[in-house]
Structure 1
Amino acid sequence: MKEAKPLPAYLATRYQGWKATTYSENKAWYRRLAEEGQRPRAMIISCCDSRVHVTAIFEADQGEFFIHRNIANLVPPHKPDGQQHGTSAALEYAVTALKVANIVIMGHSSCGGVQGCHDMCSGEAPELEKESSFVGRWMDILRPGYEKVKDIDDRTERLRALEQQAILTSLENLMTFPFVVEAVESEKLSLHGVWNDIANGELLCYDPKTETFVPV
């Protein structure tokens, strides 16, 4: 692979710093993780956005979370068609092999993927309507959510509502996977939806009783 290049200097330097401090001070813990394998208590499905730092928000240690990230923290519907499905594969492994006790869908404010869906569905981003757009076809998952919020007058409120619809859509789609349904009904698995406001650090959790997002 002649196009591959050495690691950027700043990343190499940061690695050396980590190896000399964090790793060096916790060698026994890392060796235990390597020898005993992972036993994460939760799977977190979050956005690829670089501002969303799941392990920092929950102060998690290595081995505690099985994390899957994609554009706009979406879970597609169950569709065993022989094609490649990264999110569905990660979900299957987490539930059937790792047997996580919790799945958390974590959305966030100012989500570029959600805004892309909004603009595509409202006719402002025709480039995303093209069949060749990977982002556009992925954001098709959220089209039903857009239909639920499109009549909100204020754009800022509409986008926030759509960010939260992305969470709800993913929670609903989780329950189209037979192995998720089985684990939930046997009370071996719990599903959760949270939304993080990047600017003020607020975390809201979906409350099914009130059908609203409330502060944690």
Structure 2
Amino acid sequence: MQHAKPLPSYLVQRYHGWKATTYAENAAWYRRLADEGQRPRAMIISCCDSRVHVTSIFGADQGEFFIHRNIANLVPPYEPDGAQHGTSATVEYAVTVLKVAHLVVLGHSRCGGVQGCLDMCSGRAPELETKESFVGRWMDILRPGYERIENVEPEDQAQALEHQAVLVSLENLMTFPFVKEAVEKKNLTLHGLWNDIGAGGLSCYQPEKGTFEPV
């Protein structure tokens, strides 16, 4: 592959710093993880956004979380059509092989993907409507959520749709037969969270109230 280049020097320096400190101080734990395999208790589905740092938010160590990231933390509906479905494959592996006990969908404030969906659905981003737009076709998953917030005041729509990104994903998770079975057998619990990046806040969806409440 002719186009692959060496790592930027700052990443090389950071790696050597990690190897000499964090790894050196926990080498036995890393070897144990390598030898015994992973046994994460939870799967986290979060956004690709670089500002969302899942392990830092929860103070997690290596081996605790099985993490999947995509634009706007979306889960598509169950569609076994023979196409490539990275998110669906990750969910399947977490639930059927790793047998995680908790599956968390983590949304966040100022989400660019959600804003793109809002712009697309309201006619302000025609470039996302084209079939060539991977982002636009991915954000189609969130269209049902947009339909629920159309009557929300314009200044509140972005956050409302960020919440819907979490709820739509939770709803779609329950269309997967193996997820539904695990939930009904009480082997798996689903959780919806929303992170306020600027304030460092974390809210959890409360189905009995239909709202996101601070944890």
Aligned partner of 1:114 in structure 2 is 114
**Which AA in structure 2 matches 1:164?**
H
How far apart, in 2, do the equivalents of 1:20 and 1:170 lie? 40
Q: After superposition, what is the alpha-carbon deviation per residue over 1:63-88, rounded to whole angstroms, capped at 9, x for unaligned?
A: 00000000000000000000000000
Aligned partner of 1:162 in structure 2 is 161
Aligned partner of 2:201 in structure 1 is 202
Moved beyond 4 Å, runs of 4+: none
How far apart, in 2, do the equivalents of 1:42 and 1:110 lie? 25
Q: After superposition, what is the alpha-carbon deviation per residue over 1:124-149, rounded to whole angstroms, capped at 9, x for unaligned?
A: 00000000000000000000100111
Map 1:64-79 to 2 at 5 A: 64-79=64-79
Tell me how far 1:150 sits from its aligned partner. 1.3
How far apart, in 1, do the equivalents of 2:118 and 2:73 lie? 15
Aligned partner of 2:104 in structure 1 is 104
How far apart, in 1, do the equivalents of 2:115 and 2:154 lie? 14
Aligned partner of 2:59 in structure 1 is 59
How far apart, in 2, do the equivalents of 1:83 and 1:123 lie? 29
How far apart, in 2, do the equivalents of 1:18 and 1:169 lie? 38
Q: After superposition, what is the alpha-carbon deviation per residue over 1:163-183, rounded to whole angstroms, capped at 9, x for unaligned?
A: 000000000000000000110
Aligned partner of 1:2 in structure 2 is 2
Q: How many residues align?
A: 215
Tell me how far 1:154 sits from its aligned partner. 3.0
Map 1:1-216 to 2 at 5 A: 1-155=1-155, 157-216=156-215
Output the aligned Cα RMSD. Answer: 0.4
**Which AA in structure 2 matches 1:133?**
S
Q: Could you tell me the percent identity over the aligned residues?
A: 73
How far apart, in 2, do the equivalents of 1:89 and 1:41 lie? 18
Which runs of 5 or more structure 2 residues have no equivalent in the other structure?
none
Q: After superposition, what is the alpha-carbon deviation per residue over 1:158-202, rounded to whole angstroms, capped at 9, x for unaligned?
A: 100000000000000000000001100000000000000000000
How far apart, in 2, do the equivalents of 1:103 and 1:47 lie? 15
TM value normalised by structure 2: 0.99
How far apart, in 1, do the equivalents of 2:31 and 2:152 lie? 53
How far apart, in 1, do the equivalents of 2:52 and 2:22 lie? 22
Which runs of 5 or more structure 1 residues have no equivalent in the other structure?
none
How far apart, in 1, do the equivalents of 2:123 and 2:2 lie? 41
TM value normalised by structure 1: 0.99
How far apart, in 2, do the equivalents of 1:215 and 1:29 lie? 34
How far apart, in 2, do the equivalents of 1:50 and 1:67 lie? 14
How far apart, in 1, do the equivalents of 2:136 and 2:114 lie? 11
How far apart, in 2, do the equivalents of 1:125 and 1:48 lie? 21
